[in-house]
Structure 1
Amino acid sequence: MGRTDELFFEMIETYQRHAQTARNAKYQETHEMAEILLNMDITAMWCLTQRTPDTRSRLI
């Protein structure tokens, strides 16, 4: 497994933690911040797949 794959899996784990935080948020501000982080996670994963043709073809 290459470094790109490792980064992608780390991003997925981070996304899952942020999603859990959003689901369990007691306060609206915490929920909103977690959703912002989720959007950033999704953007980072998308950028990684677009910059690496090998990863993009394996995900499709």
Structure 2
Amino acid sequence: MNRTDELFFEIIETYQRHARAVKNAKYQKTREMAELVLDTDITAMWFLTQKTQGTRCRLM
């Protein structure tokens, strides 16, 4: 596994933790902040797959 793959899997694990935070958020403001972080995670995953052609092909 190369470093790009490792980063991608780390981002997925982080995304899953943040998704649990959204699900378990007690207050609306906390939920909104966690959702913003999730959006950042999704953007990071998208950029990671766009920067490396081989990774993008394997994910599709």
TM-score of the pair, normalised by structure 2 = 0.99
Structure 1 spans left out of the alignment, 5+ residues: none
* Cα shift readout 1:1-39 (whole Å, capped 9, x = no counterpart): 000000000000000000000000000011000000000
1:48 alignment partner in structure 2? 48
2:12 alignment partner in structure 1? 12
Letter matched to residue 3 of structure 2: R
SS of alignment partner, residue 58 of structure 2: helix
In 1, the alpha carbon distance for the partners of 2:38 and 2:52 equals 21
In 2, the alpha carbon distance for the partners of 1:56 and 1:28 equals 35
Q: Percent identity?
A: 70
SS of alignment partner, residue 26 of structure 2: coil
Structure 2 spans left out of the alignment, 5+ residues: none
Runs of 4+ that moved beyond 6 A: none
Number of matched pairs: 60
2:59 alignment partner in structure 1? 59
In 2, the alpha carbon distance for the partners of 1:33 and 1:10 equals 21
